[in-house]
Amino acid sequence: MSNKEYDYRDKYKSKEKADRYDTRFFSSIKGQIFTRRESKQLKEAFKSFEDKGYILDMPCGTGRITTQLLDEGFSVVGGDISKEMLDVAINKLEHHPNMKKFEIMDGSNIPYEDNTFDASVCIRFMCNLPLDLQKTILKELVRVSKETLVIGFSRDSFHYRLRNKLKRLIIGSANDYPVTDKVLDQWARDMDIQIKSKTLTIPLLSEQLIVQFEKRVAE
């Protein structure tokens, strides 16, 4: 793959960026509203897990999503390619009784056997990657998961494209790799998984689409 496709490897390999990540993105009123909505989506996705389970959070970043999963009773492995981001998560969560481990992890080559985890979570990551790499990582998450996958994408639409143009004009950057419903449906067919739900985190204000996939049960 080209260097451009692997830009995400270096995006948060900075102690300064890692230390201020949570404050920068989630301390504002908008960030707090976003976090509450996202938390509600995760609760909905996992409400059927009566006995909780073993979950991979990849990339776990500073442990924002990991914290919710742990507090709700799940056992969690947190993986991220950035040691700096992991260090922040470890400082917050290494002593939590449900935390299994944190480790350096590349989502395109997850170092676990098939069906190791009951479920996998991947939030605020895919939007940074070209579609072929998104598909590769989704395939890896499907491989290591027994049942459920909760994945965040940027949804492609007329509204999204208009917002992106405005964001580029105002702040000079925007997420570059949205996906269409057609692409998601095709990926699900290719990987023999089902799309159980697709929900925008904050309709009209955010392009983040949380998709819940379920692996097909062999008859």
Q: What's 119's domain CATH number?
A: 3.40.50.150
pLDDT of residue 1: 35
pLDDT of residue 174: 55
Summarised one tens digit per residue, pLDDT across range 145-184 is 999 999 999 988 777 777 677 767 776 655 578 999 999 9
DSSP per-residue string spanning 41-81: HHHHHTTT-TT--EEEESS-TTSHHHHHHHHTT-EEEEEES
pLDDT of residue 170: 75
Alpha-carbon span 26 to 48, nearest angstrom: 28
Alpha-carbon span 180 to 202, nearest angstrom: 17
Give the closest residue to 175 by CA, choosing from 139, 135, 134, 126: 126
pLDDT of residue 202: 85
The domain tally of the chain equals: 1
Range of the domain at 155: 4-215
pLDDT of residue 55: 98
pLDDT of residue 169: 73
pLDDT of residue 171: 64
Confidence of residue 218 (pLDDT cuts 50, 70, 90): low
Pairwise pLDDT comparison (176 vs 142), residue with the higher score:
142
Exposure b/e, 63-102, CB count within 10 A at least 16 = b: bbbbbbbbeeebbbbbbbbbebbbbbbbebbeeeebbeeb
Summarised one tens digit per residue, pLDDT across range 65-121 is 999 999 999 999 999 999 999 999 999 999 999 999 999 999 999 999 999 999 999
Confidence of residue 192 (pLDDT cuts 50, 70, 90): very high
